[in-house]
Structure 1
């Protein structure tokens, strides 16, 4: 990055880098931290960065379910790795860090999306996080809602794969 960052902004940047490296190497964040990892800045790893990265990694299945529900029209696999990991990081902070306002988390992550993502990343990240923030503020248990949506989706996929009750499957649908 061309500008100097510090404090929690630096920590979020470092956490994003750890999540990215873990995903790229098919490893858990703890495994990345126990080995050789690279931070793009020359700063030592911030404790808050460690907390965010480990927490987001631990909650990854639930965070991914939320992302899948809220990124309408985009499967998790279609998202670029920066956006996907930035959303995981932000959602973890929004759901599990009580001393940071939702708007602050969203703003910080939108700025990181501008710095590390594509031209469209900041708008996309802002939209997804804004929808989740609205749900949180309305009292929705976003984790439970995402789990339920995932169960419904896998049930619908299972129904689509099972043969017709009368035994006549439509060959063209397969």
Structure 2
């Protein structure tokens, strides 16, 4: 399994934890990292994803709801919701990751951690967002070209 896949899976677990335990913890990412063993090479991309999703969550959630026909975020499974958040973060804010890679990774992670229907559900929403982006119908902040350590690739 590749380093970025490991990062995405660990980010899913951290975001799931934060979504389910809305504790007023000052540093939920630090708490998560202190409780679970992390793959060292995966850590920088893990932090990039988790911090990016947390920073842009309002924009990300707005786009997910916009493209999820008849599904409010609160009705989605916590796993699917957070896989979508990771992928939409990548689509909107990570110029160094091709959209098809983000979508395929999200589908694969959904199949591993979600239900039998997760892959198709995730694919439908993300592909709609991708097509809207190609038509410049999605508002987003300028994509960053920085790698996970903050340097230019």
Q: TM-score, normalised by structure 1?
A: 0.73
TM-superposed CA distance for 1:118, in Å, is: 0.6
Give yes or no for the alignment of 1:87 onto 2:84.
yes
Specify the structure having the higher radius of gyration (Cα).
1
Aligned positions, number: 139
Taking a change above 3 Å as real, the CA distance of residues 30 and 122 of structure 1, as seen in their structure-2 partners, is farther
Give the equivalent residue in structure 1 for 2:114: 117
Give yes or no for the alignment of 1:25 onto 2:21.
yes
Q: Quick one: distance in 1 between partners of 2:123 and 2:91? A: 13
Give the equivalent residue in structure 2 for 1:6: 2
TM-superposed CA distance for 1:100, in Å, is: 0.7
**Cα distance per residue 1:92-138 (max 9 Å; x no partner):** 01111111100000001100000000110000000000000001111
Taking a change above 3 Å as real, the CA distance of residues 27 and 143 of structure 1, as seen in their structure-2 partners, is farther
Residue 35 of structure 1: SS of its match in structure 2? helix
- For structure 2, the 5+ residue unaligned runs are 142-153
Q: Quick one: distance in 1 between partners of 2:12 and 2:25? A: 11
Q: Quick one: distance in 1 between partners of 2:89 and 2:58? A: 11
TM-superposed CA distance for 1:9, in Å, is: 0.9
Taking a change above 3 Å as real, the CA distance of residues 18 and 36 of structure 1, as seen in their structure-2 partners, is closer
Q: TM-score, normalised by structure 2?
A: 0.82
Higher relative contact order (CA 8 A, sep 6+): 2
| Pick aligned residue for 2:127 from 116, 125, 130 | 130
- For structure 1, the 5+ residue unaligned runs are 145-174
* Two-structure CA RMSD over aligned residues (Å): 2.2
Residue 46 of structure 1: SS of its match in structure 2? helix
